[in-house]
Amino acid sequence: GWQDTLATAGDDDYGDRDFSSGRAQLLFQPTDKLEFLLKIDGGEDKSETTLAYSRALLDPSGSGDYCASALAGTLNQKDCLTLANLTSLYALTPGDAGPLASSQKRDGSVVLSNPINKLDNSWAGANLQVNWDLDFAMLTSISGYLDYDNKQVYDYDGSPLVLFEEDGKAELSVWSQEFRLVSQSDGPLNWLAGAAYAEDEDKEHRFGNTLDNIFVFPSLTERGFTQDNEYWSVYGQLEYDLTSEWTAHGSLRYSDENKTYKDGYTQDLVGGFYYYEDVRKSYELQENWSGDAGIDWSPDDNLMLYGRITRGYKTGGFPGGFAFSPEELNPYDEETVWSYEVGFKSTWLDNTLRLNGATFYYDYQDVQGYTQRLSEETGTVVSALGNLGDAEHIGAEMEMEWLPNALPGLSLQGSVAWLSAEYKSSEFALDPNDVAVDLDGYTRPYAPEWSAYLQSRYEWQLSSSLGAGVQLNYSWRDDIYGEEMAITPLSYAAYNVNSFGILNARAWVGTMDGEWQVALIGKNLTESEYWTSATGDDLGSFVSTPGQEMSYAIEASYTW
């Protein structure tokens, strides 16, 4: 483990991984035109998950107001307090605020959270793929089944107190069937047609403990629901060589999806009453059509220019979080997007250098995200999944890969991307202090303006059967919640996640045929201090999720 928490005495060494999985596959070919490929996999994950880093935003006076630094947009861990500090100082242990947020380490190696964050997941699945060569086309059948049990305990308030901790479990079962027919002609026309069907059931039960949260919502609650989903689609794709240089292509898919939320309830176990029970809701996909149309121009074997228009969607559903009334469980709509992209793909230097680039424009309607409202029950601003309005993305990206002839075994890769993602019409959003702001013109969070990736890899042969290699990669991304994304200075203090870069390395030795390999892995070698996300628990506490400090691991694999 890599984290210690001041909620307990001694060194916790929290963050151990306990993960195991297995996979087997069987290939059967009764004839040269028919084959069956069966894949079976399963595993379990009992890892300790990252403990959150507490953010102090409240005024020490006990007024319930946010501190002056936070209102000005500054996270002041020394002079401001957390909800846990105020609860201890004025109620549980008068005169003693407990450990302050400033006693944590920004890299997340020392935090205040109770050391309870843990997974207990298990899964088993099977996939059968049948390929039948019909000469004029290949008929493929893909049948799948997955059974997944998820159990997670998490301290959402990130403090030594029990302000909001949750113990939840979900049982998910999924099965799917797809048939696909792909032409096998030499052109100029190639086509694909298919149909798919899937069903899944998700049963969830969660216990929430907020008994120490005496100023906001002291309680012990249980909530649960069952969600049934049914999906089917038919689709087709055409590709036609207009000339030796020009190719036109397009696809079209019709989808239908229905979701049913049933047996929904939330019970207050302390008061012995239900906020609601036996709730049933339904959702039906409205935007059924998706597809694309494009054209490619290849003036020679080393260059292709292309343009493409695509329409897609992200399905809607139910908020699924904590709710006090059935109305809060109403479904949100699907998100739709029209995308327009032009780009090129090219090879240079005798096919040793690959260089690709693209520019794009995305036009979103009904973008999904977290909406806010002021809760009468808690007196705080709470969030739930919903539709925020419309948005547009404009961007460009470049990527390269070089295999220099002068150094056989060496490969260099790199990419860079720029993105402008803004709301163009929207609902009003609330900051933690219930200040309403129109999102129109604001940058979408978690859409960094710049991102980049570099990788260097060198492989060599030790003998006729053994090989070795070393690899370095560096990834960097811009602010994912910066000042231009924050609707108020308080929002920036509560949720800012600034830019960071990570350097990783890997060295290995193994057989040339990939039968076995042993590798030494190093992560975050520059000891970058960074956060991957920041959020509030809707009950007065605010936390960040820290990225792991420098770590090493040994990895061994064997394939048979």
pLDDT in tens, 301-331: 999 999 999 999 999 999 978 899 999 999 9
400 pLDDT higher than 90 = yes
CA 494/CA 534 separation, integer angstroms: 7
Which residue, among 257, 147, 127, 279, has the nearest Cα to 202 in the 3D structure?
147
CB 520 within 8 A of CB 143: no
pTM assigned to the model = 0.92
Residue type, 221: T
Q: Strands, E, within 134-218: which ranges? A: 137-155, 165-183, 189-209
CB 415 within 8 A of CB 463: no
What are the pLDDT digits (tens) for 26-83?
999 999 999 999 999 999 999 999 999 999 999 999 999 999 999 999 999 999 999 9
**Does residue 445 have a cis bond before it (omega within 30 degrees)?**
no
CB 324 within 8 A of CB 355: no
Structure tokens at 469: 């290699």
Mean pLDDT within 446-474: 97
**What's the pLDDT band for 12 if we cut at 50, 70, 90?**
confident
CB 417 within 8 A of CB 396: yes
109 to each of 75, 340, 545, 548, how far by Cα in Å? 19, 44, 11, 8
Structure tokens at 186: 């030499």
With tokens 């005169």, the residue in question is: 95
Residue type, 187: G
What are the pLDDT digits (tens) for 93-149?
999 999 999 999 999 999 999 999 999 999 999 999 999 999 999 999 999 999 999
